[in-house]
Amino acid sequence: MLMFWKEKLVFLSVPKTGTTAYEKALAPVAAMVISDPPELKHAPLYRYNRFFRPMFEKACKADMETLAVMREPVDWLGSWYRYRRRPFMEGKPNSTHAVSFDDFVLAYCQDKPPSFANVGSQYKFLEPRPNGTAIDHLFRYEDQAGLIAFLENRLSLKLDLPRENVSPRMELSLSPQAEKTLRQARAEEFALWDSIGG
């Protein structure tokens, strides 16, 4: 999570959406950088609303805008699958070495996914709160040009992004039946994705 005080902007870090590279590039100009522990670095909107927003409003008298990135749901799961297939993960409970991408996605669709497929939900991360707190600026991961243009304009700087925390390259394909199951089980993920302009 990055907070830009003068610009009144908080950049929430959705896992597997390239935010580590933005954190590295923008940390020098951010007023607050939360990079550890992962539970705070990747604080979802509900945690931001409960802990950080009241602090900014009460202690700092500031109404902050929020920014986040969402990745196309199948691509997002592919990134998780590849990430958990790195060589040193073999034999660990979260490893995806012993399962196909179809099996990983089908396991993710369960009400209680096994540990290797328990990767959370972009929809739940970004879900608006009952008090009206919502993501003000939501970008598709694939719209890097739009996100960079927004940040450069809002923060008055030029961005030079490093490649950070990148999942290993691997060709993945999802069977039509597995994709159908995913779209039915996680319809809210696709609905949110489809609602983003760009």
Whether the Cβ atoms of residue 80 and residue 14 lie closer than 8 Å to each other: no
Domain boundaries defined on the chain: 2-195
Q: Strand 32-33 vs strand 137-140: parallel, antiparallel, or unpaired?
A: unpaired
Contact indicator for 69, 125 with CB cutoff of 8 Å: no
Selection from 185, 31, 165, 172 nearest residue 123 by Cα: 185
Q: Give, in words, the CATH class of 2-195.
A: alpha beta
pLDDT of residue 63: 83
> For residue range 33-63, what is the model confidence (pLDDT) as tens digits?
998 888 888 999 999 999 999 988 887 777 8
Q: Is the pTM of this model over 0.85?
A: yes
Strand ordering across the sheet containing 32-33: 32-33, 2-4, 9-11, 65-70, 137-140
Q: What is the pLDDT of residue 198?
A: 56
User: For position 9, what pLDDT does the model report?
Assistant: 96
Below-70 pLDDT ranges, the chain = 162-168, 198
pLDDT at site 127: 96
- The confidence score (pLDDT) of residue 37 equals 85
